[in-house]
Structure 1
Amino acid sequence: MLRKNFTLFASILLLSLSAQAKIWRVNNNAGVTADFTSFYDALVSTQVVNGDTVHIEPSATAYNSGTVTKRLVVIGGGYLLDPAADGNSGLQVFTANSWINGITIGNGGNGSKFMGIGLPNVVFQVSASAYNVVFERCLINSGMYFNAGAHDGITVRKCFFSSARIEHTSGTLENFTCENNIFYSYWAYINITTFTGSNNIIRNNSFRDVGAGCTIVNGYVANNIFQTSNCVLTNSVVKNNLFSSNQTLSGSATDNQVNVNMANVYVGGTTGGLDARTQLKSGSPAIGAGLTVGAVTSPDCGAFGATDPYKLSGIPAVPSIYSLTVPTSIASGANTMNVTISTRNNN
C-alpha cells in the first residue's frame, strides 16, 4: 500500500498545569494561523494568565522583546539547528531558531520558566524582586543582567552563552544555581559579587575561548572548566576545576588543575555545532575529574558531566513528534488503518 510521509514539528508539553492553564501559539510565519504573531501581544493579552504556556514557534524573523509580568512557561524549538551555520544536524525538521529580541523579568514574573529559545539579553528589573525564575536550554548572545534589587532562587541551566556574560554587582542574589552551561568566546564570563547565603552554586560549566576571567564572591565553584584569564574567586569553595591559566588558589581549594593545555580538553574543530565542539575529547584530563554530584561519582568536569548534562541545541525537554506515516487510502469498509508515528525523547 502506498504511503506518504508527512514531516512535522510538534511538541507535547508534559507539565502539571492548573485547570485554567492554556497553551498559546506564537507564530509570525506567513500563512500560519496562530493565537498571536507577536510575543509582546501574548504578554499583554488579558487572556494569557498565570500558569499558561506560550510556544514560540521557529521563524526566520525574530519576535519582538517584552516584559514578563505573569508566571508563564515560554518554550521554543531550540537553537544552533542549522548545520550550515555552526549548528547541529538532524535534531529538528525546521532549522530556524525561536528567537526573541530580549526579555525583561518584571513584577509578577516570579516562577516563570524559559526553555529552548534564543535571545540577546535577559534583564531582571530594578523594581522587581524576582524569585524562582528558570532559564534552561536557552541561547543568550549578549548577557544576563540583574539590576539593583533582591533576587532569590534564579536557576540558569544547560544554556549556551555566546560572548555573553552573567553580571550581578549591586543588590543581593541568593540561592542562585548556574550548572551545565557553555560559555563561549571572548566576553562569556561570570561577574557576581553580590551573593548572600551559602547556597550559590557554579558547577559543571564549560568556558571555552574566553578572554576575560570570572569574578565570583561567596560562591560554591566546582567541576568547571575555565579556559579564561585568571579568575577572582573570593571567599568561595573551589574544588575539582580545570584552569587554563596559572590560577592563584587559596589554601582551602582542593583537587584543582592549573595550566591545563586546552587542546587536550575539548573536541574543538570546525565542524558540527558550536556547542558540540565543547564536548570532551578522548583522554581529556576533565574526564572523571569532578567531585561527586548526587548519584554520579567522579563525574566529568564541564557542561556534559554530572546528573543533568547539557543538551545539544537546547532542544526542550518534551517529546517531539517529527514524522507521521499514514496510508494514502484505505479499503472500502475497513474499520482500521496503520499509522506510524516517529518520536524522540529529549530529556
Structure 2
Amino acid sequence: MPTAGQPLRKLGFLTIGRFDGDAPRDGHLETIRTIERAEELGFDSVWLRCRHLQYGISSPVAIMAAAAMRTNRIELGTAVIPLGLENPFRLAEDLATVDLLSDGRVNPGVSVGTPMRYDDFRHALYPDTHDVEDFSKERVARLLRHLRGEPVSDFEGTVGIETYSRRVQPHSPGLADRVWYGGGLSSAIWAGEQGLNYLTSSVVTTEGSDPVDFATIQAEQIDAYRAHHPDPSRARVSQGLVVIPTDSATPDQVRRYREYADARFPRTLEPQGPRRMLFAPDLVGPSDELAERLHAHAGFQRADEVAFALPFSFTEADYAQIIEDMATRLGPALGWAPAS
C-alpha cells in the first residue's frame, strides 16, 4: 500500500479524448500524441474513457490499436467500456487482436447496467431486442469466457480450404487476467469473487455507509474486494481521483484549474441522486501538497497504482503541463520512479 513510507508502484492517468465535432480527427490525434508523450515521461499506463453520442472517445479499442503502433511499453487501459452497448463475442475478438499487436499491454476495464440515456437510442442500438437485452453481470462473464478461450462453436475443422476454430480467434493468453471492473460495495465483492482487477474512481455509491465520507467509503470497498479475492496477492486495485499538480502551471492555468475544482465542489458535500452517489473533491495544488493529502487518503492508502483523471474541458497545453508535473514532480513525491 502506498502509505507515506512505501512507494507508489504504478502511475497512470485517464483521459476522455475530447474533440471538436467539426474536426474530430484533430482531437483523436491529440490523444495519440498524449499517449506517446506519457510513454516518454515513464508513465506505466494510460486509460481511456468511453463516451457514446458525446464528443469523447467512443471506440477506445480503436484508439488503443493506433497507440499500440506508436508506443512500445506503456499499458493501455479502458475505464470503462459499458458492455450494454457491446457484443461480448465481437469485443473479445477486437480486444485480443489489439492485445497481440501491443504485445500484451491491454487492460480492459468494463461495466454493466442499462446504458446511459438508453431510451433515447435503444431502437437504433437494438431494433428488435431492446426490451429483452440482458444488462447484468452475465455480460462480463460472457466476455471472460470468450477471452479465456472457452468453446463458442460446435464445429472445429476444415471445410474446403477454410479452417474453423471452436474458440474466439485470435486468442491472447493472459488477457482475461487483465480485465478490470468497477463499482460500489456489491460490485467490489463480486469483482473479488471473480478474480477480476478492481477500478475505483472519484465517485462512490454510499449504500448506507455511515459516516458519509468519500475516503472512508472507498477504503471499505477496496477492503471488501481484497477480502473476497481468491488470491489477494494478485489482486490489483487502481485509484482514479482528479488530481491536478500546478508546479509548472502559469498563473492563468492555476486560476482556471482552481475555478474548475471550486465549481464542482458543492457536489462533494452530500450524496447525489437516487443512487446516493458521492463525489470526491478535485485535488489542485503543488505536488508536495498533493502528496501529503494523498498519503492521508484512506482509499489511496489501499491502492498501489493510480490512474489520475484528467478534467474533461482543458486544452492540449494544459494536459501537457499536468502530465509533465505528474511524472516529474508528483510521482516522485509519492515514491514512484518512471519506467525505463
Per the normalisation by structure 1, the TM-score is 0.29
State which structure, 1 or 2, has the greater radius of gyration over its C-alpha atoms.
1
Relative to its length, the structure with more helix (as a share) is 2
User: Using CA pairs below 8 Å that are at least 6 residues apart, which structure has the higher relative contact order?
Assistant: 2
